Amino acid sequence: MCFKCGMCSKFLDSTNCAEHEGELYCKVCHGRKYGPKGYGFGGGAGCLSMDKGDQFSGNTEASHSGSETPVRAIAKAPEGEGCPRCGGYVYAAEQMLARGRGWHKECFKCGECSKRLDSVNCCEGPDKDIYCKVCYGKRFGPKGYGYGQGGGALQSDPISNGYDPVCYAKKYGPRGIGFGGSAIGLTCDIDDNSEVPPPRTTVVDTARFQAPAGQGCPRCGGIVFAAEQVLAKGREWHRKCFKCKDCKKTLDSIIACDGPDKDVYCKTCYGKKWGPHGYGFACGSGFLQTDGLTDEEISASRPFYNPDTTSIQAAAGQGCPRCGGAVFAAEQQLAKGTMWHKKCFNCCQCHRPLDSMLACDGPDKEIYCRACYGKNFGPKGFGYGHAPTLVSTNGESTAAYCDARPISGVKAPEGKGCLRCGYEVYAAEQMISKNRIWHKRCFNCGDCHRSLDSTNLNDAPDGDIYCRGCYGRHFGPRGVGFGLGAGTLTMA
């Protein structure tokens, strides 16, 4: 509220703030009061400006950065229903909740230092007021040695305890170098006439109540109650015992790592003891970090791995077809109903590693890459090589069927088989026309023998099938206008 211009009272931020002699100004007022003046330095080019901001001189005290916000006129609420600080009505748009009461946002501040509060740093005092954490600790928190702002600090309210802080520090404060009146002073002064005993720190012995074997805290063996339990790897730990085994660093659920020895470590110690070692696994790339371990020690700390897939033989016909070893789920590859090891799943000729996209099952129950499969079992002859090169060692024909008609098989009864060849038509190779069923090889034009499909099929009155051109030539209309072009006479 006070971070505003000292002349025009405009609220400032980090982008428009200017400072001069301990006072804040906006950039316009700063230029008006302390900037260059004269021709060319006004609001626009060619304008003469000698304004020094005298019109704001009467508002100097009111707009000073140390001024307080004026009190608003607030409608008073009935007793016990309004804001506990000012007593006015609190509406939903400005409501802050504490102690079961609604507060104004402007009133929601510390009752001692008037610091603005929120849900994070608000503390409700026993006097029905609200405080920040620092003021709450000073007013209602524990007092004495060890309860100050930092470790080794003395924080004791002399009014509450009835002692002078210097005398209290002499009797109960730390002694030695650095704890005296100066940074390097030695203080061992003890007032024996005081009757107030020094405060004692209570140390909780978690191992006092021992649990049955395997049920208590893994570190101390004591019973773990619900108020102090921390869970890790299915075991319950005391909060006091939940620390790294090596460096004794206190852990939480973010940095705790469960080791294979059923103990807990911080991330750094876990990485040093159980993480990968060697080139590239240190803090930076290309850095060798082995913590002084030899190759034998590093290998001994790693899980055992046996690369021999034949060490465990499977029953006949159930193992890997290449080596005969048992194939487990973590390493299996499937091909043609058989399971292979990942190590064995490669081409039997060029030994190229395969996957489901490259593997080809050969008729000899082996697997090949595509190139080797084509060389061994693919078609041969002109046009089937890597280039239009003639590759044929035996002279066999490259056509799948030399004749388009079947030459063997079961003859169908009269009028029921394929009209073109007369043989039986099975479901896997049948093509259907309007009147008959045909073989795929026989499903062609009865005149020009062009292969047909459902888009160019024409059933003729003679029971045969034709392409569109031959059908029009045999059974289409004839005369002027029905030929190949308009106005042409065709009587073919």
What is residue 332's predicted lDDT score, i.e. its pLDDT? Answer: 84
* Same domain, residue pair 316 and 353: yes
User: How far is the CA of 96 from the CAs of 117, 298, 452, in angstroms?
Assistant: 10, 60, 83
Tens digit of each residue's pLDDT (9 = 90 or more) over 367-406: 999 889 988 888 876 656 554 545 555 544 444 444 445 5
* Same domain, residue pair 298 and 310: no
Indicate whether 358 belongs to any domain: yes
* Same domain, residue pair 126 and 169: no
Give the separation between CA 394 and CA 381, rounded to whole angstroms.
Answer: 10
Q: How many Å separate Cα 158 from the centre of its chain?
A: 54
Sole residue written with tokens 């099929």: 457
Q: Are 447 and 474 in contact (CB under 8 A)?
A: yes
Indicate whether 194 belongs to any domain: no
Indicate whether 484 belongs to any domain: yes
Domain extent for 167: 144-187
Q: What's the token pair of residue 369?
A: 């890459």
Give the chain's domain count: 7
User: How far is the CA of 90 from the CAs of 76, 119, 132, 302, in angstroms?
Assistant: 10, 18, 22, 67
End-to-end CA distance of the chain: 105
What is residue 158's predicted lDDT score, i.e. its pLDDT? Answer: 46
Q: What is the CA radius of gyration of the chain?
A: 48
Give the separation between CA 277 and CA 387, rounded to whole angstroms.
Answer: 51
Which residues contact residue 80 at a Cβ distance below 8 angstroms, ignoring those fewer than 6 apart? none
Indicate whether 108 belongs to any domain: yes
What is residue 181's predicted lDDT score, i.e. its pLDDT? Answer: 45
Give the separation between CA 237 and CA 220, rounded to whole angstroms.
Answer: 9
Low-confidence ranges of the chain (pLDDT < 50): 44-46, 60-71, 150-156, 158-161, 181-192, 194, 284-287, 387, 389, 395-404, 486-487
- Final residue in a domain of this structure, among 364, 381, 398: 381
DSSP state at residue 11: B
The CATH number that applies at residue 237 is: 2.10.110.10
What is residue 254's predicted lDDT score, i.e. its pLDDT? Answer: 86
Q: For residue 385, which amino acid is it? A: G
Q: Which residues of 438-450 are buried (b: 16+ CB within 10 A; e: fewer)?
A: bbebbbbbbbeee
Per-residue DSSP letters for 111-145? TTT--B--TTT-EE-TTS-EE-HHHHHHHHS--EE
The total of other beta-carbon atoms located within 10 Å of residue 221's CB is 17
pTM of the entire predicted model: 0.25
